[in-house]
A and B are shown apart, each in its own frame.
Chain A
Amino acid sequence: MILNKVKIENFRILRDVEIEFSSDNKKPLTILRAQNESGKTTMLRALQWGLFGKYALPKSGRNYRLYHLDLNVGDEIKVSVELDFTHVWSESPLLKTTAKKESSYVLKRSVFEKVMKNDDFERKEESVELLEVTPNGYSPVANPVDRLKSILGSNLKDLFFTDGDDALRFIESADGNSARRGHVKKAIKDMLSFEVIKDSIEHVKIIERSLRQESTSITSGDAQKMLAVLDKLEDSMEDRQVAIDDLVDQKDETDRDIRKIEIRIDDILEKGDKEELKKRKDALKRNEDQIDNNIKNRYTELSKFYYGDIIGGVLCKEKIDITYNFLVDLKNKGVFPKASLPFLKELLANEDDCICGRPLKKGTKHYTKIEKMIKEEAENDELGDRITQLRGISKDYLMQKTKKIIFDNESEELITNIIEQKTNQEDLQVEIKKVSNEIDSIPDSNLKELRKQSKDLTETRTSLNKQISRLRFEQDEDKKDYRYTKTQYDAILKKEDRTKKILSKINAAQDIANVLKDTYALVENEEVPKVSENLNNLFLTIIKATDGDKNLGLIQKAEVNRDYDIEVFGPKNRKYDNKDLNGASRRALTLSFVMSLAKVSEFVAPNVIDTPFGMMDEIVKESCLQTLIKECHQVILFLTRAEINDIEDLLDKNAGSFHTITNSAHYPSKNLVHDNNSQDKISLICKCSHREYCNLCELKGDSSSGMKKRATK
């Protein structure tokens, strides 16, 4: 469908608005320039209401008034939207190679609304008129609602009318994951004609059954019995298939849960297993305690140095030196040790004459004197031994223990060892702290609990697999029985001439059903991956994440997975939560999905987008617009002046229609220069482009901004 023109009357602040859209292939853009609160969203709603009726309005229009707030209680007004569009279609939507045809229509939707007290209203039944443009003029379509349904599809509103954040429901949903998947699944299945195929299969089955029922009246008793068996088997197979599908869904859900848990386990293990980390911390702590003990022992050794023999020797070196020399001197003089004592004892023992020639008999004066000398010497012998020892000791000290270098070396060795051990200890303490922080960052018992959950889910999956296998086996058995019975049944019918005609009809119905089933499988297996591939290419192109084959950014891939989830991946295939993407990327992802689906389905429709570039920078904005121009048949953009900045040249080149929407109530408070019925508070439409202004739309600063003033009547 391509929109050509819309005429809106009395739709909220759109009192009398007419817009022509560009339907030129080479200039597919229609630009509606409007500041905030000018009527952009209202115009989007008016277009949606015109095409789809009250179900396109918020809450199906129950609390959504259409009348202008300036109306008085009791006033009644006719609200109408008239759309002129071209429907591009193919006679066989499933065969894409078929040539497209075009039909033009005028759609008129109107409703009467009466203003009631307390902002309430009474709305009458909508009136819909669809006129087909024929060579002979306008031809009313007999059943306009059904025709519109076939023209518009059930998802056109959601897919092609992108209303700000509402469009984000494909990638994030306040209603949860299943709601989000539901939106994506529905959009894909609608656009790729899944429902059409499914409805067709059901329809053919009903025909086949009715043909069989019809055949019972003209067949024999055996054939009737077989037909009853076939019906029973068919019912049984259908019930079982429902059960299998249900179990497969459960299994898929379980698989997803297992995958999620495994990812969480991987995340935790990447950070570290808490138990392992605790063991590691304990080992490090033991090591640190050992080093602490070593340090204490080394400190004790070091402290002992300061009251040990070496420090004593070093500090008292001078005195020890004196003592040694003194004692050596005494030795040399024979004072210590005394050499005379053995000699004197020998003299007394012999009682001979003394060496001097005098008699040395006991009791003599000399003998007594020598006896006294021997006694005194004996008394001093113990001290003499010690003095002799001290001579040797002092010598030892002087050789080994009074040298400062020895003290310095030995104490330095200990000090170096202490410093090294302290460095090791500090390193260990840092490591322990790091491990402790890692432990703290891991939630308690998460891993244990997650492993248990994973084990439980794996058991559930095994049980589901068993049930599925059993049911599939039974299904295969039934299928064999069915085929066998059917062969028998067909053989009987063949023998009976009167049933040949009906048999050929039944066979034809079965062939058609088989073709449709194959088509359904083909669409699901081949077309959905195509949507995913297109989504990926478009998204990466818009956000400038690729340069040819080279991937440049943190976002590396986007896909629609088998569960109909739109997912975005970064380096190492790490999945992003879509909520973590920035606003521009989320918008780009949504638009990419819509464009990819339109491209794969080859559905022709306008992309009507309200303020798409609000969160985008200059580069992404330009790339997004280029992609829209390239991929879409018709693009209708509601843009603020800020969004237009930086893309003016692209608009010049690709836009075939420009309009500016202005709210008359913006005079003068919101920089509107001219008063054009400011009391009425209505949307004013002019044909000014992004490079023009006129008396309707001029804002303060326009005249000095380089824009051109457009002459108006």
Chain B
Amino acid sequence: MNFHNPLQGKALNFPKEYKDKVETYCATKPGGGESEGPEYNPFKRQVDLWFTSFCLGVNSGNRTKSKNAYRFITGEVLAQNNHMIEIIEMVAIAETKEPLIIGDTQKLADISNEYAATGIAILFNALKYTKDQTPLWNLVEYFKDNL
């Protein structure tokens, strides 16, 4: 079932510096390779990692305009996850105090990508939170300690 998706056709981006690393933590590997299971690949898709980055970025309160971003996918992929769209829209409204912002799809995409660009650095630190645990257990520990 597809939901309302204002980001359809819009680019979802990561800063280029993370290009090679994102796939490491995802089960789906467009570049090829086998998943090692959720302990090592806690995110099913890259968009899942992007969303968590977005949320962490929002939580930090900072947006980063990345000059060197790359599009890893377009927003159609979000249609399967309405909670992601809902949260993006709510954040955008709060951010702009303009309810009709949800009709400005480019603006929505910009806000989302900018928060994700901030959050990805936090997420990568969280994934390596301790030296001797798997990425998933690192996430568990990180969120226990920092949420």
- Residues in chain A within 8 A of chain B (CB atoms): 296, 299-300, 302-304, 306-309, 311-316, 318-323, 326-327, 330, 335-336, 380, 383, 386-387, 390, 393-394, 397, 404, 407-408, 411, 415
User: B109-144 vs A: 1/0 string, CB under 8 Å?
Assistant: 000000000000000000000000000100110011
Q: Could you tell me which residues of chain B, from 23 to 57, have a CB within 8 Å of some CB in chain A? A: 37-39, 42-44, 48-49, 51-52, 55-56
* A319 close to B102 (CB less than 8 A): no
A540–B89 Cα distance when bound, in Å, is 94
Chain A nearest CB from B93 CB (Å) reads: 5
Residue of A nearest to B144 (CB): A408
Chain A nearest CB from B88 CB (Å) reads: 9
- Residues in chain B within 8 A of chain A (CB atoms): 4, 37-39, 42-44, 48-49, 51-52, 55-56, 58-59, 83-84, 86-87, 89-91, 93-95, 97, 99-100, 102-103, 136, 139-140, 143-144, 147
Chain B nearest CB from A296 CB (Å) reads: 6
Task: Tell me whether A308 and B37 are in contact in the complex, defined as CB-CB below 8 angstroms, given that A303-B42, A314-B147, A326-B97 are known contacts.
Answer: no
Residue of A nearest to B84 (CB): A312
A303–B44 Cα distance when bound, in Å, is 8
Chain B nearest CB from A314 CB (Å) reads: 6
* A383 close to B90 (CB less than 8 A): no
Chain B nearest CB from A709 CB (Å) reads: 80
Please give me the 6 A-B residue pairs with the lowest Cβ-Cβ distance, nearest first: A309-B83, A322-B94, A315-B55, A319-B94, A307-B48, A299-B38
Task: Tell me whether A319 and B58 are in contact in the complex, defined as CB-CB below 8 angstroms, given that A299-B38, A303-B136, A386-B4 are known contacts.
Answer: yes
What would 8 A/B residue contacts be, using CB atoms closer than 8 Å?
A296-B38, A302-B136, A306-B143, A309-B83, A315-B147, A327-B93, A383-B100, A390-B89
* Chain B residues in 8 Å Cβ range of A415: 140
A408–B147 Cα distance when bound, in Å, is 10
* A320 close to B99 (CB less than 8 A): no
Chain A nearest CB from B60 CB (Å) reads: 9
Most B CB within 10 A of own CB, among A303, A323, A387: A303
* B140 close to A387 (CB less than 8 A): no
* B90 close to A393 (CB less than 8 A): yes
- Which of A296, A299, A303, A319 makes the CB contact (< 8 A) with B90? A319
* B58 close to A316 (CB less than 8 A): yes
* A387 close to B102 (CB less than 8 A): yes
A296–B42 Cα distance when bound, in Å, is 11
Residue of B nearest to A394 (CB): B90
* B140 close to A302 (CB less than 8 A): yes
* Chain A residues in 8 Å Cβ range of B42: 303, 306
Task: Tell me whether A299 and B136 are in contact in the complex, defined as CB-CB below 8 angstroms, given that A315-B56, A320-B94 are known contacts.
Answer: yes
Chain A nearest CB from B9 CB (Å) reads: 17
A311–B48 Cα distance when bound, in Å, is 12
* B38 close to A311 (CB less than 8 A): no
* A307 close to B43 (CB less than 8 A): yes
* Chain A residues in 8 Å Cβ range of B49: 307
* Chain A residues in 8 Å Cβ range of B136: 299, 302-303, 306
* A411 close to B140 (CB less than 8 A): yes
Chain B nearest CB from A247 CB (Å) reads: 71
Residue of A nearest to B91 (CB): A319
* Chain A residues in 8 Å Cβ range of B143: 306, 311, 407, 411
A336–B101 Cα distance when bound, in Å, is 14
